[in-house]
Amino acid sequence: MTEPLEKRLEKAMAELHAAQEAVARTERELRSASFSVLSSDRAVRATAGPQGELTGIEFLSDKYRDMSPQELAASVLEAASAARLKMNRHVMKAMAPFAEPSSDVPELKGFELDWERIFGPEVLREDDESTSRGGPATPAWRDALGDEGED
């Protein structure tokens, strides 16, 4: 025997209320989130804020003084991109449960989010490619630089 419509509606409303509270909690948490990443050459640390914006750059030790402008720029871009990617993945993981179908109310099917379209294709790649290769990853931009840090 199927459940009465009133009971199903009551369950759906309760689930909606719980979801609204969970979304509000998640939004509060995300507003204060940030991620910092160190460049592979350990010369720069970049921090990305809750919307993926660059909120900080630190030049570590005096290593940056011996770098060419191209090398320093590449280190900044690498760290900033990695910090932004970490934030994007954090947002994706935090928001994913809200897109899933309801277990209590079968009529609430959930919805699909195109994370790749929102954040770009890198957000769906493996989290840490460097650990799968047994060491730190060499960024692709390093291959394009010559010994003097120029094209």
- Ordered mean pLDDT values, 10 residues apiece, the chain (151 residues): 79 83 88 94 95 93 91 96 94 84 69 82 71 39 40 37
Residue closest to 79 by CA, chosen among 41, 51, 39: 39
- 3-state helix, strand, coil split of the chain in percent (to 5) is 55, 10, 35
Residue closest to 87 by CA, chosen among 35, 124, 125, 44: 35
Residue-level pLDDT at 106:
66
* Strand-strand pairing, 35-38 and 54-59: unpaired
Residue closest to 35 by CA, chosen among 82, 95, 92: 82
Task: Give the dihedral sign, CA 22/27/28/32.
Answer: positive
Tokens of 98: 């809200």
Give the SS3 label for residue 9. Answer: helix
Residue-level pLDDT at 128:
54
Residue-level pLDDT at 89:
92
Residue-level pLDDT at 100:
79
Residue-level pLDDT at 1:
52
Residue-level pLDDT at 129:
44
Nearby residues of 104 by Cβ (< 8 Å), 6 or more positions away: 11, 15
Angle at 40 between CA 35 and CA 44, to 5 degrees: 60
